[in-house]
Structure 1
Amino acid sequence: MAESTDAQPSGPVQVAPARTALVTGASRGIGRAVALGLAGAGLDVALLARDAERLAEVSREVRALGRRALELVCDVTDADAVADAVRLAEAPAAEGGLGGVDLLVNNAGRIDAEVPVWEADPDEWWQVMETNVRGPFLLVRHVVPGMLARGGGRVIDLNSGSGSHDMTYSSAYNLSKTALMRLGHHLHATGFARGLRTLELAPGVVTTDMTASMRAHDGRTEWTPVERTVEAAVEFARGDLDACSGWFVRVSDDTPESLRALAVARDVVAGDVAAPRHLRVLPAGDADPMTDVLTGR
């Protein structure tokens, strides 16, 4: 029998909608809202945070929505604890797990004092870096291999506008969110062809314990509704924003509809590492001899 000469399917790997999620920092604030929003959209959710009592409350809320909830009391900077937590989340349902993690939401984070870097406390500064960078790295290291083995998955990093521009205070937070964006872009560049989709999601300025403690927001009367972050996370979990994989998205300006339209208007090639919304060094001007180098990679 002659071999078939039919062309093989081409194009990006199609990734199924997420059925399960692991959300860090899920005990309060944005993490809690995202976890509940994903549960409301039909996902089972592994809830990871350090506060067992608050986790139990969120777990009850998830179950009230008719979805399974798994409580993982864990510090995201503890490598052994993260490995154990992911192992529990990926255990078969018969053993109390979710059977795998389709969507990872790296939300756990902290901020340092609002001072110039030369006035920063060294221990606090490094603790912020560990929570905001080492934590997501450890989660990615243990979750992504399972995703790839199952044909793909999705990662959302709760980033910040501070990841895209310079700040004059909270230098550890500024640096950590920029580094987190680079981590997300690395995942996109190395994992897209294998079914990994990533999103750097900035929630705008949401009313949380963290923002309430910041002098920068004293007297603020306009806040970004957390529901916008939840909406974007749910749309991404469903696969409806896969065309924006690797992008930096800020929900105070972006909506799922505007992002899809932008992807179409820009005729984005799926998986292109030079796609829009990535960190780049801008040329000094039209005559800059490095223009092509800086904008073409």
Structure 2
Amino acid sequence: MPEVAAPGVAGAGVPAARTALVTGASGGVGRILSVALGGAGVAVGLVGRDARRLAATAEAVRAAGGRAVLAVADVTDPVQVAGAVAEVEAALGGVDLLVNNAGVIERSEVPVWEADPEEWWHVVSTTLRSSFLLVQAVVPGMLERGGGRVVDLSSGAGAQDREVNTGYCVGKAGLFRIAGALHLAGYDRGLRSFEMSPGVVPTAMSLGMSGHAGRTGWTAPEEVGGLLLAIAVGELDAFSGGFLRAGVDSPAALREAAARGLPDGARRLLVRPYGPRDPLA
């Protein structure tokens, strides 16, 4: 994996990340990403609701040779989010890599008309509200310092229609619009944004989904961490505003694709025209 904090490493004029904030860092993919960042020399602010589990992640980051601080917060609460960001930045300095990983999924895998309204909205709200609040708390400081990168932990569920878990799908699809807005409004000021799917990692969430029952092929943690580190150093800035997927995309293949030139709309969530005579074409 690349050494993120190495002097002089940059992408398209935006310096490589030195300080990251990861939400949902108490376990699963959040812990994997936090440890990968710490092992590559990035100072990591760990945010979540469970102090004990956050402390375990912090120990794992330090064992990998990194520096970590933790901030306990409910990332759907604007006051707690502001406090957590202030706490992390007071300890580590300005955040230049925001990783929005916090999210939940419905317990019941049913069609949308059978979904529990409260649970459905809780899933959507947790995904979108947390990312929105973190963007509001972190991005202004990034822009003042000349830029940074925002990574949403997305999913193929946000890019495709599915029969069940529609709250999860809606939340993940909504993240595409946040990433696209950040790209359009902030690119010229040094802001880069990404929707990154971790693939299918054997976490408590994925193991509990019927769609993965009996699965034998999983995305390796090294692939997930490696893709985030490639983003962090600026190797994949050509894909700002777009979707990347660990386990399918390799940093080398993405760099090669970018070097050849990306077509308009590449890796974006768009409405496809029905043909050349479609007025939307």
> Which residue is 2:112 aligned to?
117
Distance in 2 separating the partners of 1:124 and 1:187:
28
Distance in 2 separating the partners of 1:152 and 1:115:
42
Distance in 2 separating the partners of 1:107 and 1:242:
20
Structure ID, larger Rg: 1
Give the gaps of 5 or more residues in structure 1: 1-11, 92-96, 269-273, 292-297
Distance in 1 separating the partners of 2:66 and 2:245:
28
Contact map agreement 1:13 1:193 (CA 8 A) in 2:
no
> Which residue is 2:266 aligned to?
276
> Which residue is 2:179 aligned to?
184
> After superposition, where does 1:68-217 map in structure 2 within 5 Å?
68-91=67-90, 97-112=91-106, 113-217=108-212
Q: Shift of residue 226 of structure 1? A: 2.2
Q: Give the aligned residue type for 1:161.
A: G
Greater RCO (CA < 8 Å, at least 6 residues apart): 2
Deviations 1:105-163 (A, max 9, x none): 00111111211111111111111112110000000000000000000001111100011
Give the gaps of 5 or more residues in structure 2: 1-10
Contact map agreement 2:40 2:66 (CA 8 A) in 1:
no
Percent same amino acid at aligned positions?
52
User: What secondary structure does 2:35 align onto?
Assistant: helix
Q: Shift of residue 62 of structure 1? A: 1.7
Q: CA RMSD in A?
A: 1.4
Contact map agreement 1:13 1:194 (CA 8 A) in 2:
no
Q: Note if 1:288 corresponds to 2:259.
A: no
Distance in 2 separating the partners of 1:44 and 1:228:
20
> Which residue is 2:62 aligned to?
63
Contact map agreement 2:195 2:242 (CA 8 A) in 1:
yes
Q: Shift of residue 252 of structure 1? A: 2.4
> Which residue is 2:3 aligned to?
none
Normalising by structure 1, we get a TM-score of 0.88
Normalising by structure 2, we get a TM-score of 0.93
User: What secondary structure does 2:184 align onto?
Assistant: helix
Q: Shift of residue 267 of structure 1? A: 5.2
Contact map agreement 1:156 1:198 (CA 8 A) in 2:
yes
Q: Shift of residue 275 of structure 1? A: 4.1
Distance in 2 separating the partners of 1:34 and 1:190:
27
Contact map agreement 2:28 2:204 (CA 8 A) in 1:
yes
Equivalent pairs, count: 270
> Which residue is 1:4 aligned to?
none
Structure 1's consecutive aligned runs of 4 or more residues displaced over 4 angstroms after TM superposition are none
